[in-house]
Chain A
């Protein structure tokens, strides 16, 4: 009698239906990310890939080519980088997770610890990748990811203000200070420090130049989580040095990444410690700059953390063979790796592709910086390491407490957390 009453009826039923199909798996974004596993992958099956916005676009073309060749549909779902890891962990057990995800290697520990990753056997393909990229993708002796790009902190230098690459960090500071005295710059060097979480990542090359590593390594080159070295002899010298930079105002916990980037962009500082992320911005703004590895501050080589981007296959993928085939035999080819470079512009993890593009001084500079580095540890414990490490750095830079005591206390806390698992 009352047709209008049917509208609510339809809504109600549709709601029931939608929530039912989502399998109670969580928020509204879920149901569009994966087809119901039941829909019997008609004929050739289909793959779902999760990627963040920087990587979704280059992947689209490669995915289309895979579909052309093999008749397998590949759906590239764009998600926020921050969401991918946690959503993967929570959704993979429901069977609604992706077949392949793209992300940095330091997720590995957490993903394996949650049992959502399938090991990858690179076989002979491994020879094509740089050693640091391969090392990064290993966790507890097994390889879990196919690398495609590496990034690390390097020294960006405004070539107009500082035509010569400094040989040491002291030389860098002297140049910077002279420019500030001459009124040509406002900051001798810009090192981004987050006022909430510190800057262990940006400061790591300087820290390693004091011989202070985060973890010791096992014979096979992997980090040994039982050997935290953040309170080693080198670190005990690094702390007071850091305190000195804080006192002199070279380092400031107010200098956020935004302010630091802006200062370099506007020529207010000759030097910036940064990753490759903003290089395109500086180019677009015609800032004359060069990229070099971070110089040593205390004699030992400065070794930045290297982040390796790669592809991972889900342990509960409904299409294990297709996913492995896509990653191992398709994404590993020089053509695919080159295509990823062409649209993404990141330093390639494949040595052949790197050779092709090394005429680009920015890519070559970041590649040299990465070669000097070591992979960011991919242990699950790293999250708590970052937090304590950064807070201690903040305290040292801000001049609270004794650097030696702070360093020792930090190491004690981190060891306790690692032991507690």
Chain B
């Protein structure tokens, strides 16, 4: 939307348009313009500086660089009088980079990773999660009231025992009795000699440090370490796993089992047991290989591919035929009320497609739908639950949704054919049928072929109709992966990425790339064949 901004008509009326030569504008306009420009650039730069500071604080250096380059470019382009074409192009290019190029490259990149459930972050996160999950409370150990106290930079835990005894300890320094603790009104120790209590705000500002604090419960390592989760109580925990940073291995303390990182992005032991979660790694062409070689995926994939072609082909051919016939019939002004017919034919096009699909889903219900109950006198035809009928229903509904568009296109194309051409044919003695076949159709096809190719590409990825009408079903309970009779490639991608049991974003991106290759090939070949661009 915003991409069209630079080409929008100027807001100043044509009469007051600045002269083409920017060197000699009226003096007062120059001053106002300059002032406005300086103010706006200043605002932009101020925002950019804020963004840069925020990014630097988060150590997001990639984004930092991109913003810096972008800001410099904006200043260079708009500060001076030169770079006039760039002034028009820059916004569009920026939006293209952000919303198209970045997305395309990210999809391309993700297709070569194992990004998905269990592999959603980086390795340090995975190690942290594994260790946190392995930390269990020492059996039968109590949760005690605790106070977070500090001495200089050091934080410690002050634990009050039921007998008002008080223990103090800090990282690497086991709990030991405190001589003269300070109690609050409810008998809870809040300070010890040399140690002062941290206020809630102070705890809030040192949260990371406090939540990572582990105070050994005693000299015996088996008694675990005290930690506080909420800042007011503490309990002893014991970790069953140890991470060795140098060797990059995780060891199970009780069994001695050693887990090593694998190329799949998980820690795995020699016997094959794995620790969850794993992390994102590049897996090369594994995803593509799996689609093409794994029998569980390849079989359904090929079936879906064929059905996608059939669906897209019929969804173009049948609506086009219906639209063409209707357009030809209603083209002549001899039919009375042709305007009314035209408006009525446009109705299905006026509904949002996904709403129409939902309504049709209700209409086609086997036992309660209008089609079976009222139109077919109580028949129980499983329109959406029988595989072949479901395919038929999906096609029928899609034809119903899309023929008005074809009708519109054909009407426009027919009306664009000059009257002289048909008149000349008629003088030469051609009949109506001959005029249609030899004159109008060829002219019409030249005009609509690019449209047909675009419609094919659209229907190739027509997610809405499938998802809303059948959800890809009916599914065969025996199929190895969750694929139904009416699934298109795009709904298969959706199921891989968001449906089913495991989110497999990397795999879904790989299928998207395959779809892109297919659609691009068809479009290129189709457009070449039609020579649509040569003749225009």
- A residues lining the B interface (CB < 8 Å): 1-17, 19-21, 23-24, 36-41, 43-45, 70-72, 86, 89-90, 92-93, 95, 110, 112-116, 118-121, 123-124, 140-142, 195-197, 252-256, 259, 315-316, 318-322, 324-325, 328-329, 380-384, 387-388, 391-392, 394-395, 398, 406, 409-410, 413, 417, 421
Shortest Cβ gap from B186 to chain A (Å): 15
Interface of A, helix, strand, loop or mixed by DSSP: helix
Task: Convert B367-392 into 0s and 1s, putting 1 for each residue whose CB lies closer than 8 angstroms to a CB of A.
Answer: 11100000000000010110000000
Alpha-carbon distance between A4 and B102 when the two chains are bound, in angstroms:
28
Taking the complex as formed, is B477 at the interface, i.e. its CB lies under 8 A from any CB of chain A? yes
Shortest Cβ gap from A292 to chain B (Å): 27
Docked complex: B10-54 residues within 8 A CB-CB of A: 10-12, 18, 22, 25, 29-30, 32-34, 36-37, 40-41, 43-44, 47-48, 50-51, 54
Taking the complex as formed, is B121 at the interface, i.e. its CB lies under 8 A from any CB of chain A? yes
Shortest Cβ gap from A69 to chain B (Å): 10
Which of B230-238, B245-253, B348-356, B443-451 interfaces with chain A?
B230-238
The reply to whether A406 and B477 contact each other, CB–CB distance below 8 Å, is: yes
Q: How large is the interface on B (under 10, 10 to 19, 20 to 34, 35 or more residues)?
A: 35 or more
Residues of A near B229 (CB, < 8 A) are 120-121, 320-321, 324, 328
What are 15 contact pairs spanning A and B, CB under 8 A?
A6-B78, A16-B48, A43-B204, A44-B200, A115-B128, A115-B276, A195-B384, A196-B474, A319-B204, A321-B204, A321-B230, A383-B501, A384-B500, A394-B474, A421-B274
Alpha-carbon distance between A88 and B500 when the two chains are bound, in angstroms:
18
Which of A7, A113, A398 meets B118, CB within 8 Å?
A: A113
Residues of A near B122 (CB, < 8 A) are 93
Residues of B near A140 (CB, < 8 A) are 133
Taking the complex as formed, is B132 at the interface, i.e. its CB lies under 8 A from any CB of chain A? yes
Residues of A near B439 (CB, < 8 A) are none
Nearest-CB residue, chain B, relative to A124: B143
Given contacts A36-B54, A322-B204, contact A142 B366 (CB under 8 A): no
The reply to whether A409 and B70 contact each other, CB–CB distance below 8 Å, is: no
Taking the complex as formed, is B81 at the interface, i.e. its CB lies under 8 A from any CB of chain A? yes
Residues of A near B365 (CB, < 8 A) are 195, 254, 256, 259
Nearest-CB residue, chain B, relative to A37: B58
Docked complex: B34-87 residues within 8 A CB-CB of A: 34, 36-37, 40-41, 43-44, 47-48, 50-51, 54-55, 57-58, 60, 62-64, 66-67, 70-71, 74, 77-78, 81, 87
The reply to whether A13 and B501 contact each other, CB–CB distance below 8 Å, is: no
The reply to whether A410 and B54 contact each other, CB–CB distance below 8 Å, is: no
Given contacts A5-B78, A16-B67, A321-B228, 6 further A-B contacts (CB under 8 A): A20-B66, A86-B498, A92-B121, A115-B277, A324-B230, A329-B230
Shortest Cβ gap from A10 to chain B (Å): 5
Alpha-carbon distance between A12 and B382 when the two chains are bound, in angstroms:
53
The reply to whether B63 and A13 contact each other, CB–CB distance below 8 Å, is: no
Taking the complex as formed, is B303 at the interface, i.e. its CB lies under 8 A from any CB of chain A? no
The reply to whether B10 and A4 contact each other, CB–CB distance below 8 Å, is: yes
The reply to whether A41 and B120 contact each other, CB–CB distance below 8 Å, is: no
Taking the complex as formed, is B473 at the interface, i.e. its CB lies under 8 A from any CB of chain A? yes
